[in-house]
């Protein structure tokens, strides 16, 4: 199976959906922030490994605690994933913090400040 094949894309989408459901309803670890979302998932073509990009609404400490909590709950998450998705192999999950949403919010704030300053100078 090639990396960008239709089958791999469907698997990525299904794993992302199920990971989101598991994080929303099944994780009882207090370190995992309630506003945690799965931004993207990349399952390797051999279905052995998976990179899950996680976004957390909160400060740096909340993000670090959430990653530690998810890494400690990886066995549970993997078991639930195997129970809900019928795959030959259940991938080993590596959680990676995704900063793209935070970066986008910061850039939007800067653009808004700049346009507000420009409008102030015009008046």
Q: Convert the pLDDT of each residue in 49-64 to its tens digit.
A: 999 999 888 788 988 9
The pLDDT, as a whole number, for residue 95 is: 93
Q: At what angle do helices 60-72 and 74-84 cross, to 10 degrees?
A: 60
The pLDDT, as a whole number, for residue 3 is: 64
Separation CA 25–CA 19 (nearest Å) = 10
DSSP state, residue 90: P
66 burial class (0-12, 13-18, 19+ CB within 10 angstroms)? Answer: buried
Give the other-Cβ count within 10 Å of 92's Cβ. 11
With pLDDT > 90 as the criterion, what percentage of the chain qualifies? Answer: 41
The pLDDT, as a whole number, for residue 94 is: 94
Collect contacts of 102-108 with beta carbons under 8 A, ≥24 apart: 102/55
pTM: 0.78
Instruction: Report residue 83 CA to chain centroid gap.
Output: 20
List residues bridging with 50 in a β-sheet.
Answer: 43, 93
For the chain, which ranges sit under pLDDT 70? 1-3, 122-123
Separation CA 3–CA 25 (nearest Å) = 30
Angle at the Cα of 110 from the Cα atoms of 104 and 113, rounded to 5 degrees: 140
């Amino acid at each position: 199976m090639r990396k960008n094949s239709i089958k791999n894309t469907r698997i990525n989408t299904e794993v992302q959906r199920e990971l989101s459901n598991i994080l929303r309803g099944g994780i009882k670890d207090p370190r995992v922030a309630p506003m945690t979302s799965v931004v993207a998932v990349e399952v390797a073509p051999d279905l052995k490994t998976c990179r899950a990009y996680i976004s957390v609404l909160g400060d740096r400490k909340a993000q670090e605690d959430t990653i530690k909590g998810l890494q400690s709950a990886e066995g549970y998450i993997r078991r639930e994933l195997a129970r809900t998705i019928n795959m030959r192999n259940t991938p080993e999950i590596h959680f990676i913090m995704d900063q793209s949403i935070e970066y986008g919010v910061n850039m939007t704030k800067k653009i808004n400040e700049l346009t507000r300053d420009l409008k102030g100078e015009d008046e």
